[in-house]
């Protein structure tokens, strides 16, 4: 169905005469020509058509995202500041902006978050044919901006949560906010090979739950030696014809029972003292160049996919001094989205190492925005709004 047909079908207003082109999103070109700037409260404007030119690798070449936008312009004071622009942060922004909180999002050096590092997303509801990760996040961003969210693609480096307004610094600019949502996610750890980066989303992944389905009857490899690596390998045997577990040492951190279970699984073959030197393939993964860590002998292995399962790094650096961390370094939430500091809320993978999915992170962002709005009301910072149209 064409855009025009879609609009007609739901009786939306015609596109404005003067289309506006907003700054690009992490290197993606977004055409807002059919959008109205900030939506009128009574009738939602249509979502923009997206013109996305990957012009090379299917996904962002490196964490850090393709492009930065200067932090020096625009608003620096707000009722609600959101740190992070993955599914959690941008969903929080959509809800907060529609509740007239005029949020600022400090998007970080991976604008759009972890889904910018993958290609096909087939489990996010509403997209029966699947959608590319960067396209999905461009839609999130367009929806947040449409309601007046101010987004700055910058990492924060320091915070002071000792009193309100809370103060947050990013590249020398100070932001002040009555409430804060921390949605900085947890970055998957990678091996750091150029070939691995180049083939991310083209056979290289860090999420078995997300991408295992694409490897039906294929031969794949999993790197890692902890419980997560064994869990992922076992999960992947549902799809793959063969799963090679590659571990650079001859002992595993994983529990003995997990290792034993894997040894007994006819689909899993364990290779110890084995390190990946290069991921082979032009358009997609076709194999691996491996090295024996004891003898130095190299060999090649045919493989259609490579899953990296060596852990995640929660992005909590700036908050460590202020907020409680659990044993794995994730933020601790109390009663859904609250932190131990009133007015500071937490959403998404930065606290959740159980589900780690875009839809759960988005749900968390929604809850954090609602909690923040109610808290701001309770403090008399915003007027009680019984008509808030969530
Ligand atoms: C390879 C791969 C494939 C995946 N595929 C799927 C899939 O198919 N389906 C699915 O549901 N899930 C998938 N996931 C998981 C999904 O991406 C995450 O669960 C989800 O993105 C978490 O959302 P989040 O908003 O909590 O954090 P993230 O998406 O990690 O976003 C964190 C945000 O915080 C920002 N940030 C970090 N530090 C700072 C700082 N100091 N200052 C300011 N900002 C900061 C970052 O720039 C980023 O914008 C995949 C993950 C990976 C790694």
Band of pLDDT at residue 362, cut at 50, 70 and 90: very high
pLDDT for 386? 52
Indicate the pLDDT class of residue 390, thresholds 50, 70 and 90. low
Residue 380, pLDDT score: 93
Atom of ligand 1 nearest to the CA of 115: 17
pLDDT digits (tens, 9 = 90+) for 87-120: 999 999 999 999 999 999 999 999 999 999 888 9
| Residues marked as catalytic | 207, 210-211
* Angle between helix 87-98 and helix 358-378 axes, rounded to 10 deg: 40
Give the ligand 1 atom nearest the CA of 84.
Answer: 34
pLDDT over threshold 80, residue 58: no
Residue 38 pLDDT: 35
Helix 256-264 / helix 227-236 crossing angle, nearest 10 deg = 30
Cα separation of 301 and 288, whole Å? 5
Is the shortest distance between the CB of 123 and ligand 1 below 6 Å? yes
Maximum separation of any 2 CA atoms in the chain, in Å:
70
Other CB atoms within a 10 A radius of the CB of residue 1 amount to: 7
Task: Report residue 123 as tokens.
Answer: 């489990």
Q: Which of 64, 84, 309 to mutate to test the pocket of ligand 1 (most atoms within 8 A of CB)?
A: 84
Averaged confidence pLDDT in the chain: 84
Mean pLDDT on 148-175:
97
State residue 389's pLDDT score: 54
Strand boundaries in 12-89, DSSP class E: 77-83
Give the dihedral sign, CA 244/246/251/257.
negative
- Say yes or no: CB of residue 107 within 6 Å of ligand 1: yes
Best substitution site from 27, 62, 82, 86 to test ligand 1's pocket, by max atoms within 8 Å of Cβ? 86
Residue 323 to residue 20: CA distance in whole angstroms: 41
Atom in ligand 1 nearest the alpha carbon of residue 201: 1
The pTM for the full model equals 0.81
Helix axes 133-146, 87-98, angle to 10 degrees: 20
Residue 260 · residue 234 · CB < 8 Å: no
pLDDT digits (tens, 9 = 90+) for 310-345: 999 999 999 999 999 999 999 999 999 999 999 999
Only one residue has tokens 């997560």, namely: 228
Residue with tokens 């367009």: 142
- With a 6 A CB cut-off, is 106 part of the ligand 1 pocket? yes
Is the minimum distance from the CB of 205 to ligand 1 under 6 angstroms? yes
The answer to whether 85 and 105 are in contact (CB under 8 A) is: yes
88 lines ligand 1 (CB under 6 A): yes
User: Coil, helix or strand for 370?
Assistant: helix
Match 């014809």 to its residue by tokens: 241
Calculate mean pLDDT across residues 241-260.
Answer: 95
Q: 271 falls in which pLDDT band (50, 70, 90)?
A: very high
Q: Is 91 in the pocket of ligand 1 (CB under 6 A)?
A: no
Q: What is the best residue among 113, 129, 154 to mutate for testing ligand 1's pocket, by most ligand atoms within 8 Å of CB? A: 113
Top mutation candidate among 58, 103, 185 for ligand 1, by most atoms within 8 Å of CB: 185
- CA 183 to ligand 1 centroid distance, Å: 9
Cα(200)–Cα(194) distance, integer angstroms: 10
264 pLDDT exceeds 80? yes
188 lines ligand 1 (CB under 6 A): yes
Cβ–Cβ < 8 Å for 228, 236: no
Tally of residues, the chain: 390
**Quick one: which of 84, 103, 88, 83 has its CA closest to 146?**
103
Give the number of the atom of ligand 1 that is nearest the alpha carbon of residue 186: 30
Contacts of 267 (CB under 8 A, 6+ apart): 237, 240, 241, 242, 243
In the chain, the percentage of residues whose pLDDT exceeds 90 is 78
Q: How confident is the model at residue 8 (pLDDT cuts 50, 70, 90)?
A: very low
Residue 239, token pair as written in the block: 């799809």
**CA quadruple 87, 388, 380, 144: dihedral positive or negative?**
positive
How many Å lie between the centroid of ligand 1 and the Cα of residue 365? 12
Three-state secondary-structure class, residue 67: coil
Q: Which residue is listed with tokens 């929604």?
A: 366
CA of 114 from ligand 1 middle (Å) equals 3
Fill in the DSSP letter of residue 213. Answer: G
Residue 208, pLDDT > 50, answer: yes
The token pair that represents 351 in the structure block: 């606290």
At 141, is the secondary structure helix, strand, or coil? helix
Tell me the pLDDT tens digit for each residue of 24-55: 333 444 343 443 333 333 333 334 444 333 33
Work out the number of other CB atoms within 10 angstroms of the CB of residue 125.
8
Is residue 348 in contact with ligand 1, taking CB distance under 6 Å? yes
- Which residue's C-alpha comes closest to atom 33 of ligand 1? 84
The reply to whether ligand 1 has any atom less than 6 angstroms from the CB of 224 is no
pLDDT of residue 18: 37
- Torsion sign, CA atoms 191, 192, 194, 196: positive
Please state, for a pLDDT cut of 70, what percent of the chain lies above it.
79
Distance CA 365, CA 91 (A): 5
């Amino acid at each position: 169905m064409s855009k025009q047909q879609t609009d007609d079908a739901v009786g939306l207003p015609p596109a404005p005469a003067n289309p506006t082109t907003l700054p690009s999103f992490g290197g993606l070109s977004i055409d807002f020509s059919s959008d109205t700037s900030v939506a009128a409260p009574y009738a939602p404007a249509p979502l923009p058509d997206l013109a996305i030119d990957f012009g090379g690798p299917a996904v962002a070449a490196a964490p850090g995202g393709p492009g930065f936008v200067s932090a020096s312009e625009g608003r620096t004071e707000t009722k609600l500041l959101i740190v992070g622009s993955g599914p959690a942060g941008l969903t929080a922004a959509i809800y907060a902006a529609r509740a007239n909180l005029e949020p600022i999002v400090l998007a970080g050096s991976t604008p759009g978050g972890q889904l910018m590092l993958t290609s096909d997303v087939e489990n996010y509801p509403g997209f029966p044919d699947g959608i590319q990760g960067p396209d999905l996040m461009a839609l999130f961003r367009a929806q947040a901006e449409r309601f007046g969210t101010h987004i700055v693609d910058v990492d924060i480096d320091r915070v002071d949560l000792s009193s309100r307004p809370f103060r947050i610094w990013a590249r020398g600019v100070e932001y002040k906010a009555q409430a804060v949502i921390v949605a900085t996610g947890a970055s998957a750890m990678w091996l750091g090979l150029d070939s691995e980066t180049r083939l991310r989303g083209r056979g290289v992944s860090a999420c078995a739950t997300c991408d295992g389905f694409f490897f039906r009857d294929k031969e794949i490899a999993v790197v890692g030696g902890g419980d997560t690596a064994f869990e992922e390998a076992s999960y992947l045997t549902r799809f793959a014809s063969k799963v090679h577990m590659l571990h650079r040492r001859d002992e595993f951190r994983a529990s003995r029972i997990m290792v034993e279970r894997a040894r007994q699984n006819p689909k899993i073959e364990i290779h110890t003292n084995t390190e990946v030197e290069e991921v082979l393939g032009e358009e997609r993964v076709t194999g691996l160049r491996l090295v024996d860590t004891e003898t130095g002998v190299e060999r090649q292995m045919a493989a259609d996919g490579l899953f990296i399962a060596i852990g995640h790094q929660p992005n909590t650096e700036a908050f460590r001094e202020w907020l409680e961390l659990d044993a794995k370094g994730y933020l601790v939430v109390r009663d859904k989205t609250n932190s131990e500091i009133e007015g500071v809320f937490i959403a998404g993978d930065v606290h959740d190492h159980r589900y780690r999915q875009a839809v759960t992170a988005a749900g968390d962002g929604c809850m954090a925005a609602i909690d923040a709005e109610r808290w701001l009301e309770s403090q008399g910072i915003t007027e009680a709004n019984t008509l808030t149209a969530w």
